[in-house]
Amino acid sequence: MSFPKKAGTGAARTGGTKLLLAVLISAVFISVLNSSMVNVSVPSIQKEFGASEGQVGWVITGYLLIYAVGIPLYGRVSDLFSLKKTFVLGLLAFAAGSLLCALAPNLLFLVFGRLVQAAGGAAIPALANASVAKVLPPGERGTALGLIFSSVGVGAAVGPVVGGVLDSLAGWQALFYGTLLLTLVLIPIALRELPHTEPTGERSFDLPGGILLGLAAGLFLFGITQGQVAGFGSITSWGCFLVAALAAVGFARRIAAASHPFVSPNLFRNTGFVAAVAVGFFSMLANVSSLVFIPLLISSVNGLSSGAAALALTPGAISLALLSPIAGRLSDRIGFRPPIFAGLLVMLLSALFLSTFGAGASPVVVAVGMLGVGTGFAFSNSSTTNAAAAALPRAEIGVGLGIYQGLFFMGGGTGPALIGAFLAARREAGTDALNPLYSLGAASFSDAFLMVGVAILISFIASLKLQKNNEEPNLPGQVPAKGTKR
């Protein structure tokens, strides 16, 4: 099957859909594999460099900060420049960062390499989704997005295993050499298979608007990380939140006044898009929080090893990998609202199951709950991205999906910190569980999963505002795409 040249898609190519998807899926898999592998190698890095927990934490935190800031910026760039060139540039930066990390003689150099890696890696989720949205018609996007999200589940499932084996056999540097090799193999294929796109509107980049948006996102996430370390009442945490809020206000004023804003203010009046962003943020918050607190529950309450925790998480990861393509295909055929409703309902019931029966129970029971979380997330996730893309005018698909993805990952960074603070407060209070049906001995964890359920409930309420069909919006002021070339 080849891509037809459609009016308004802004892209045309002679290769097949399968080859393009293979490139996008491989790139997303490599980026997720990299993150999940590095997470398990942090203790080895800390030991080698003699660093404190706070210092070595920047190996993860620094990457997340640049990643969250970079995704919406790449999204906007993809509306103005060729998808092929931008995507390959991101892969090159990702490869360069991997090499710097592998050769790092000290922790500071390693953190710098991670920042470079993130600056390139942020292009991968932003441009993978933008490529699907720009090249495929609305009725075919869901299946492609489902396949991409399936690679997320596979990468998350196998990453800790691969990372643990490489770390023990060849050292943590082998993780970055492996990422470098995979990325270098992918670059020439991406050059051949990705479409060259012309800008969908006037080529003007609002640098002040982009900086303000980046500051708002980055400082908010940094405030969250400082809240984890120093407490949310600390000056650094509240200071970051205050400056992030001021940057957000500045961004709103900038896009309202600029002749060529970073993104049209109409985007934030687009009810369908805003609803999709809210669903994505809170469902990701719930999913990542569950992934973080299940290992903590099993190790601290059940007294079992990290291996047992990994086994408890595995069914959910496998379910996410297998069901995401099916959910995406369903969102193409029957609309995205039914799979999103069903997925969020399954996630909500699973969170309540964990709160009532899972906290403090056998890891087998916990694995059943996480199977439900992974299954529900599979159905809601790709369908929500499909809904976000369908709600956007073609001229702003790139920046819109970039903002969606940035807030999606920000939800993942926010959840563990907020719910972790709530868990600590409930543990310190030493009171009975808020869930009246809970009867085991880990009340604070029961309360934590109850709060996960609240986040999912917010997602469900927001999903009621999603548009009801998969047709692209016909918004006023939409700029038709220019001609295309290979």
Question: How far apart are alpha carbons 293 and 39 in whole angstroms?
Answer: 15
The residue ranking higher by pLDDT, 174 or 214, is 174
What pLDDT score does 10 carry?
A: 43
Q: Which of 226, 242, 261 is the last residue of a domain?
A: 261
Start-to-end C-alpha separation, the chain: 17
pLDDT classification of 429: cutoffs 50, 70, 90: confident
Could you give the angle at the alpha carbon of 214 between the alpha carbons of 209 and 216, nearest 5°?
Answer: 95
Residue type present at position 300:
S
Identify whether residues 318 and 432 lie together within a single domain. Answer: yes
Taking phi first (over 0 means left), then psi (-120 to 50 degrees means alpha), and beta for anything else, what does residue 477 get?
A: left
Q: What is the mean pLDDT of residues 66-76?
A: 79
Check whether residue 67 and residue 153 sit in a common domain: yes
Q: Is the domain of 322 the same as that of 278?
A: yes
**Dist. CA 254–CA 287, nearest whole Å:** 34
- Say how far apart CA 476 and CA 486 lie, in whole Å: 30
pLDDT at 323 over 80: yes
| 479 occurs within a structural domain | no
pLDDT tens sequence across 102-130 = 999 998 999 999 999 988 988 888 788 77
- The answer to whether residue 477 is domain-embedded is no
pLDDT-above-70 percentage for the chain: 87
Q: How many structural domains comprise the chain?
A: 3
What confidence tens digit (pLDDT) does each residue in 353-379 have? 999 999 888 889 999 999 999 999 989
Owning domain of residue 248: 206-261
Query: Which pLDDT belongs to residue 18?
Result: 76
Residue 225 within a domain: yes
Per-residue model confidence (pLDDT) at position 204: 64
> In degrees rounded to 5, what are phi and psi of residue 359?
-65, 110
Tell me the pLDDT band of 144, cut-offs 50, 70 and 90. confident
State the maximum Cα–Cα separation within the chain, in Å, rounded to a whole number: 65
pLDDT band at 66 (very low <50, low <70, confident <90, very high): confident
- Please check whether residue 2 lies inside any domain of the structure: no
pLDDT at residue 351, rounded to an integer: 95
Q: How far is CA 211 from the centre of its chain?
A: 21
pTM: 0.77
Residue 14 has pLDDT above 50, yes or no: no
Quote the CA–CA distance of 375 and 367 in Å, as a whole number: 12
Q: What is the pLDDT of residue 450?
A: 95
- Least confident segment among 241-255, 259-273, 464-478: 464-478
Q: What is the CATH number of the domain that holds 284?
A: 1.20.1250.20
d(CA 135, CA 153): 24
Mean pLDDT of the chain: 81
Please tell me the least confidently modeled range out of 82-96, 302-316, 356-370, 382-396: 302-316
- Domain boundary, last residue among 153, 181, 203: 203
In a shared domain, residues 440 and 343: yes
Residue 165 makes CB contacts below 8 A (sequence gap 6+) with none
Q: Would you state the structure tokens that stand for residue 459, as one six-digit string? A: 């997602």
What are 197's strand-pairing partners? 11
Helices (H), 207-336: 207-230, 235-257, 271-300, 306-334
Asked if 279 and 466 touch (Cβ cutoff 8 Å), the reply is yes
Q: Taking residues 450-462, what's their average pLDDT?
A: 95
Phi, psi (5° rounding) for residue 226?
Answer: -70, -35
Residues 275 and 159 grouped into a single domain: no
3-state class percentages of the chain: helix first, strand second, coil last, to nearest 5: 80, 0, 20
Structure confidence at residue 242 (pLDDT): 93
Could you tell me where the DSSP H helices lie in 81-172?
Answer: 83-102, 107-121, 123-135, 138-170
What mean pLDDT do residues 435-454 have? 92
Cβ(316)–Cβ(373) below 8 Å: yes
DSSP 267: G
User: Residue 394 pLDDT more than 50?
Assistant: yes
